[in-house]
């Protein structure tokens, strides 16, 4: 009801209306994710109406291509596919005690040996650790040259993230933000000195409209942004701003050893990395992809829809 009859090019106004109308129940989570989806559709519409790629609408091109790291279970496969680094999960957490910690370190050691000394490696903890466990882990992984440790704590533990960053005596960077929402959530992370790198998901955190604000906010703190993997939506944001140096690509193939579209069969022409690089077609308007309409259906019937 907030969208019907509105000019789709009034993107800022529509975002503000959606945000304010749902603020009492939707400051984080599913509501913001829904706003994000609508916002991205509006930017795609604007690009197609103006026959320009979205990145040209929000600032133009700051780079000719995006280096990609792969999120996967097997970093050696990612290296063989040409990616510029790899991020992998750990199988054990605090509940597994010292025995689990030893197994985690052994896995890290084995992966480092398999890819060599110079290939960038990152670890994804997916909100599963505690402050003491994270500090111990940071100490033990020092010999293996880990680039960053990601999302060690649940997203609302700002004090915990701040403590880890303050007590971190290693060169391993600390990252989070995949499950944070809107500029206000990211301002908390910045004001409390929680991170070295922010990782908003453009399809969750408020869409392109809000992520532009998050990017500007982070630049004032000299904090780079590496968005959580959201394919074309983050690619266009990264093309348009200089403080987004690299991209995440999720290896979702069954064996994790081949490249397949992040959005599956949703688009006919989702761009894929070649030798670890994403390049956007400057002649494709909007986000540069074509929706595959096979088997699509409207989830509800709109009684007010004009026939």
Residue 136 CB contacts under 8 Å (≥ 6 apart), including other chains: 101
Task: For residue 94, give both structure tokens.
Answer: 């605090």
- The angle at the Cα of 283, spanning 279 to 286, to the nearest 5 degrees, equals 85
Distance CA 25, CA 185 (A): 15
Residues catalogued as catalytic? 228
Report yes or no: 161 and 192 within 8 Å, Cβ to Cβ: yes
Report yes or no: 226 and 175 within 8 Å, Cβ to Cβ: yes
Report yes or no: 217 and 198 within 8 Å, Cβ to Cβ: no
Task: For residue 85, give both structure tokens.
Answer: 């680094």
Name all contacts of 112-116 with Cβ < 8 Å and 24+ positions apart. Answer: 112/144, 112/145, 114/75, 114/76, 115/75, 115/76, 115/79, 115/86
Q: Buried b vs exposed e over 210-229: b needs ≥16 C-beta within 10 Å?
A: bbbbbbebbeeeebbbbbbb
Report yes or no: 85 and 119 within 8 Å, Cβ to Cβ: yes
Report yes or no: 100 and 125 within 8 Å, Cβ to Cβ: no
Residue 62 CB contacts under 8 Å (≥ 6 apart), including other chains: 239, 240, 241, 242
């Amino acid at each position: 009801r907030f969208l019907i009859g509105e000019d789709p090019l009034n993107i800022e106004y529509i975002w503000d209306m959606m945000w304010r109308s749902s603020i009492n129940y939707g400051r984080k989570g599913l509501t913001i994710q829904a706003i994000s989806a609508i916002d991205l559709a509006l930017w795609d519409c604007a690009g197609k109406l103006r026959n320009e790629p979205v990145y040209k609408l929000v600032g133009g091109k700051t780079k000719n291509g995006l280096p990609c790291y792969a999120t996967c279970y097997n970093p050696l496969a990612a290296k063989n596919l040409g990616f510029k680094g790899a991020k992998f999960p750990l199988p054990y957490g605090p509940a597994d005690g010292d025995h689990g910690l030893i197994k985690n370190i052994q896995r890290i050691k084995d992966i480092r040996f398999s890819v060599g000394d110079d290939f960038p490696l990152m670890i994804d903890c997916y909100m599963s650790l505690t402050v003491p466990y994270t500090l111990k882990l940071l100490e033990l992984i020092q010999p293996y040259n880990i680039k960053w440790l990601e999302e060690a704590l649940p997203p609302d533990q700002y004090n915990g993230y701040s403590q880890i960053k303050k007590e971190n005596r290693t060169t391993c960077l600390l990252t989070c933000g995949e499950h944070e929402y809107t500029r206000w959530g990211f301002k908390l992370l910045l004001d409390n000195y929680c991170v070295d790198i922010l990782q908003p998901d453009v399809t969750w955190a408020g869409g392109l409209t809000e992520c532009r604000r998050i990017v500007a906010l982070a630049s004032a703190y000299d904090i780079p942004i590496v968005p959580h993997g959201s394919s074309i939506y983050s690619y266009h944001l990264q093309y348009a701003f200089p403080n987004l140096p690299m991209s995440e690509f999720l290896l979702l193939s069954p064996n994790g050893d081949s490249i397949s579209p992040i959005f599956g069969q949703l688009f006919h022409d989702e761009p894929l990395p070649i030798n670890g690089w994403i390049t956007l077609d400057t002649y494709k308007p909007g986000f540069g992809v074509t929706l595959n309409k096979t088997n699509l259906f409207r989830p509800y019937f709109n009684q007010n829809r004009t026939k």
